[in-house]
Amino acid sequence: MSLSELIKQNRSFRRFDQSFKIEEKTLRELIDLARYSASAANLQPLKYIISVDPAINERIFSCLAWAAYLKDWNGPEEGEKPTAYIVVMGDRSITDNFRCDHGIAAQSILLGAREIGLGGCMIASIHQRNLRSCLNIDPSHEVLLVIALGKPVEQVVLEQISADGNIRYWRDSNGVHHVPKRNLDQIIVSSYNCQA
- Provide the mask over 51-90, with x wherever binding to a copy of itself is found by CB under 8 A and - wherever it is not: xxxxxx-----------xx-------------------x-
Cα–Cα distance for residue pair 138/121, rounded to 1 Å: 24
Q: Cβ closer to a copy of itself: 21 or 127?
A: 21
Cα–Cα distance for residue pair 184/192, rounded to 1 Å: 16
- Pairing status of strand 119-123 against strand 156-160: unpaired
Q: Which of 73, 57, 56, 53 is nearest to 65 (CA)?
A: 73
- The reply on whether position 33 binds a copy of itself by CB under 8 A is yes
- The reply on whether position 112 binds a copy of itself by CB under 8 A is yes
For a copy of itself, which stretch binds (CB under 8 A), given 70-78, 148-156, 176-184?
Answer: 176-184
For residues 138-167, which are near a copy of itself according to CB under 8 A? 138, 141, 144-145, 158, 167
Smallest distance from a copy of itself to CB 179, Å = 6
Q: Which of 31, 8, 11, 40 is nearest to 109 (CA)?
A: 31
Smallest distance from a copy of itself to CB 173, Å = 21
Q: How many residues bind a copy of itself (CB under 8 A)?
A: 80
How far is Cα of residue 86 from the mean position of the Cα atoms in its chain?
9
